[in-house]
Amino acid sequence: MKQTNTPHTAAEDWPSRILVAEDDPVISKLMSDFLLILGIPGKIVRDGQEAIAALTTDCFPLVFTDMHMPHIDGMQLIRHIKKHHPTTDVVAMTAYSQDYGLVDVIRAGAADYMTKPFTLAEFKAKIKRATRERALLQQLQHEIAKRRHSETDLSQQKDSLLDQIEQQKEELLETNAALRLILRQRDMEKNDLANLLAARFHKEISPYLEKLNKTKLQEIQRHYLEIIAMNLESIFLPASRTNNFTHKPFTEMEVKVVNLMKQGKTSKEIAAMLHVSPGTIRTHRENIRKKLQITNTKKNLYKTIISIL
């Protein structure tokens, strides 16, 4: 076997230890010298059985093994290392290339293959390649683990966000249900108050207005009495007749005009009662027609008010 002088480089990223399984004492001695030159701690064993025992007690990132050895040969050792020491790389060595090829040892689990005899430079190149590939593999595994960790974090954040959304949805549903209940209660209270006011109006105010209307009043006094009655109705009867106007787009004056028209008052009478000119009442009547959408039609305003409002 040829030997070339290669200077030791302390800065090389070598494996911490190398195990050599070789039954030929001459080659064993040569590889021991190679390791010494390269400054790599190593151990030389004679067969696969001793190699397995050494791997059990010590850690070897890289193993060089001969393929033809007694007891346990190189192929068996490669398979054992692949199964029980997956972080240890193996380089197969043989002088009989016709017995085992690169494909055979790679399938068995070896990282590389070299044919004897080989030089120190070749030995060094195999170490560097195995070390570099192991470092790349570890970096790739680290990146994969980091990405999986990130994906797990994202998945957990997604699940947490979905839980928050679901919780907020339930809270909104509960809030909406509570608001609907409050609104129903307020509507009931509002209706109860409106009914109470209407009852008190009919009992405590309306009879006296009717009695006052039957007394001898001047025409202007009667008009004022009708205005008072109309205004009191708008206050005490919001849920009945005047409610028909409060939700319509009528102004306060237009509401008064509509109420007086429903009482059969003419425009002149309404103008006198509201202390405005008849022209102003005509303007209000036109605005009311527009809001009732009967402008430029033959529909009678009084009949429309009676039928709709």
**What average pLDDT score do residues 33-46 get?**
94
What confidence tens digit (pLDDT) does each residue in 194-252 have? 778 778 877 888 788 888 888 888 878 877 777 787 777 767 765 444 444 434 568 88
29 and 130 both lie in a single domain: yes
**Is residue 208 a part of any domain in this protein?**
no
CATH number at residue 88: 3.40.50.2300
Residue 149's pLDDT is: 83
In this predicted structure, what is the pLDDT of residue 54? Answer: 96
Q: Which has the minimum average pLDDT: 189-193, 239-243, 292-296?
A: 239-243
Residue 163 located in a structural domain: no
The count of structural domains within the chain is 2
The answer as to whether 185 is a domain residue is no
Least confident of 41-45, 48-52, 191-195, 282-286: 191-195
pLDDT of residue 283: 93
Residue 186 pLDDT greater than 80, yes or no: yes
- Whether residue 10 is contained in a domain is answered as no
Tens of pLDDT along 25-34?
999 999 999 9
Q: Does residue 143 register a pLDDT over 70?
A: yes
Grade residue 3 by pLDDT with cuts at 50, 70 and 90.
very low
**pLDDT for 97:** 55
For residue 13, is it within any domain? no
Q: Are residues 27 and 124 in the same domain?
A: yes
Instruction: Name the pTM for this structure.
Output: 0.47
Residue at which a domain ends, from 118, 135, 152: 135
Q: Are residues 33 and 130 in the same domain?
A: yes
User: 3-state SS of the chain?
Assistant: CCCCCCCCCCCCCCCCCEEEECCCHHHHHHHHHHHHHHCCCEEEECCHHHHHHHHHHCCCCEEEEECCCCCCCHHHHHHHHHHHCCCCEEEEEECCCCCCCHHHHHHHCCCEEEECCCCHHHHHHHHHHHHHHHHHHHHHHHHHHHHHHHHHHHHHHHHHHHHHHHHHHHHHHHHHHHHHHHHHHHHHHHHHHHHHHHHHHHHHHHHHHHHHHCCCCCHHHHHHHHHHHHHHHHHHCCCCCCHHHHCCCCCHHHHHHHHHHHCCCCHHHHHHHHCCCHHHHHHHHHHHHHHCCCCCCCCCHHHHHHHHC
- 135, 157, 174 - which closes a domain: 135
CATH of the domain at 269: 1.10.10.10
Question: Is residue 288, in this structure, part of any structural domain at all?
Answer: yes
Classify residue 304: in a domain, yes or no: yes
Domain boundaries, position 258: 216-308
- Look at residues 135, 162, 190 and tell me which one is the last residue of a structural domain: 135
Same domain as 115, residue 222: no
Query: Is 40 a residue whose pLDDT tops 90?
Result: yes
The answer to the question of residue 32 being in a domain is yes
